[in-house]
Structure 1
Amino acid sequence: MSESGYTGAQPRMGFFTDTSVCIGCKACEVACKEWNDVPEAAGLDLLGTSYDNTGDLGANTWRHVAFIEQPVSSVDTVSTVDSVDLGMPSVGAPGQAAEGVRWLMSSDVCKHCTHAACLDVCPTGALFRTEFDTVVVQQDICNGCGYCVPACPYGVIEKRESDGRAFKCTLCYDRLGAGLEPACAKACPTDSIQFGELDELRERAAARVATLHDDGVAEARLYGHDPADGVGGDGAFFLLLDEPEVYGLPPDPVVTTRDLPEMWKRAAAAALGVAATLAVSFLGRRR
């Protein structure tokens, strides 16, 4: 049995996103929209704060490439990632300082949590855990209650305004069933998005961090890979070149329903106490 409670024989599948080789091309966003028929979130105009036109994850953006521009003066120690390996010019390479600016880029996605609060609160069973240990919304069952939206510790799930139902990344569940990798990973030209068995990806990620540290990129670290974290580890985890907050990620995410069992116990105890009091009062009056 997996940590998530799933008992299937299929190994857990997931994503490892290595932001140190993300070039911000948005091929993953386009591939996700095309394959899953995700509607346009807004216009194609840039937001005005970066080379970004989608802004955040949501019902109409299942993959989001963040562009983070940092003045070099605000970075204590700027280590550079070798851009030669990527076939890129040095200016503007991921994590590279150029003309007083360092660019950080990252393709964000639903984390497919081990302990998924969205599953806990869904009253219809629209959210379910697949045989690949991923978390998927069944749109034909979703009633639009929206309980899953505040339950997500990462702010991933959102209701689509056009019909009120909740939508998010499915890790291309239909493609996995056909033996194909997710569309975003297939389209990524630098292998920043890597798909495979989660245990193997974790080993690969640890080796990548060690390599970066040996190359002087001291700030490289993993996020969401640890099964001992507040959500039991993520099915989609990341290699970052700065603190999680810089990428808009919570530093210490926790499953938002962790206290529900204790709350239900207390509620049940209180209800029994009230019932006992009423029974004693009723019997006293009869006597």
Structure 2
Amino acid sequence: MSLNKKVGFVFRQENCVGCGACTVACQIHNELPENHRFRKVDRYEVKRDDGAIDVWLSHSCMHCENPACLMVCPAKAYHVRDDGIVVLDREKCTGCGLCASACPYAAVSIREDDGKADKCNMCVELLDRGMKPACVSGCPVECLDVGNLQEVLKRPSASKQGIGYGDCITKPNLVIIKERA
């Protein structure tokens, strides 16, 4: 798979206000139960010379280059599309839970209603029609987007590191933009 074909989430961490609108938009679009979330917003308190500030991390499935979920799934329910998006075929899922345990980002969860794994698919049904994922469209401050990773990583402010997030062996495809828009 060529890097120039890969898409990933792009997050302007310094712009995020922690409102959770991305989480709600995702839940509504995917018709998820109230207690089930594909996208989460975590709060981190960062101490500075002039006091402490809250910094937020909006995250979901990282659509990793080396997805742990895919590697451990005995049912072969996961596959990686040519654009790098990791997709779960819930029909193949046996509910063993190995994928949820293996994911270093806690992006895979087991649904209470049917006992099967579930996760963000980056709204491939929308992307394939030229639209943005629900979480991106739902962000009122426009700090979340998707983009071609090769192009995004050329920006001087782009990084694979952020507060509450860092690159790991699975090679996650989330890029943090470290400048306020």
| TM-score band w.r.t. shorter chain | 0.7 to 0.9
> Could you give the per-residue CA deviations for residues 31-72 of structure 1, whole angstroms, max 9, x where no partner exists?
10111111101xxxxxxxxxxxxxxxxxx11111123345xx
Q: 5 Å matches for 1:76-225?
A: 76-77=48-49, 100-204=51-155, 206-207=156-157, 222-223=161-162
Q: Does 1:14 align with 2:8?
A: yes
Given candidates 31, 44, 52, the residue that maps to 1:68 is: 44
AA partner of residue 2 (structure 1): S
Distance across 2 between alignment mates of 1:203 and 1:188: 24
Map Cα deviations across residues 135-157 of structure 1 (whole Å, 9 max, x no partner).
11111221111121221122221
Q: Which protein has the bigger helix share?
A: 1
Partner of 1:128, secondary structure, is strand
For 2:72, the aligned partner's letter is V
CA RMSD of aligned residues (A): 2.5
Residue of structure 1 in register with 2:169 after alignment: 230
Is the partner of 1:34 in helix, strand or coil?
helix
How far is the alpha carbon of 1:230 from its aligned partner?
2.1
User: What one-letter code is carried by the residue in structure 1 that aligns with 2:97?
Assistant: G
* Superposition deviation, residue 184 in structure 1: 0.8
Greater RCO (CA < 8 Å, at least 6 residues apart): 2
Q: Return the letter of the residue paired with 2:132.
A: E
Say whether the 8 Å CA contact 1:63–1:108 is kept in structure 2: yes
Contact 1:110–1:236 (8 Å) recurs in 2: no
The structure with the largest alpha-carbon Rg is: 1
Which residue of the partner structure matches residue 279 of structure 1?
none
Q: Write the distance in 2 (CA, Å) between the matches of 1:18 and 1:140.
A: 35
Task: Tell me if the contact between 1:158 and 1:167 (Cα under 8 Å) persists in the aligned partners.
Answer: yes
Is there any run of 5+ residues in structure 2 with no aligned partner, and where? none
The separation in 2 between residues aligned to 1:194 and 1:170, in whole angstroms, is: 14
Higher share of residues assigned strand: 2
Q: Secondary structure at the match of 1:203?
A: coil
The match for 1:34 is 28
Give the unaligned 5+ runs of structure 1: 4-9, 42-59, 79-99, 210-220, 242-287
Whole-Å Cα distance in 2 between the matches of residues 173 and 102 of structure 1? 35
AA aligned opposite 2:157: A
Question: Would you say how many aligned residue pairs link Structure 1 and Structure 2?
Answer: 177
Per the alignment, do residues 225 and 33 of structure 1 end up closer, same or farther by CA in structure 2, a change over 3 Å counting?
same
Give the structure-1-normalised TM-score. Answer: 0.56
Separation in structure 2 between the aligned mates of residue 225 and residue 173 of structure 1, nearest angstrom:
25
In 2, the alpha carbon distance for the partners of 1:235 and 1:183 equals 18
Q: 1:142–1:165: 8 Å Cα contact kept in structure 2?
A: yes
How far off is 1:240 after superposition?
Answer: 7.0
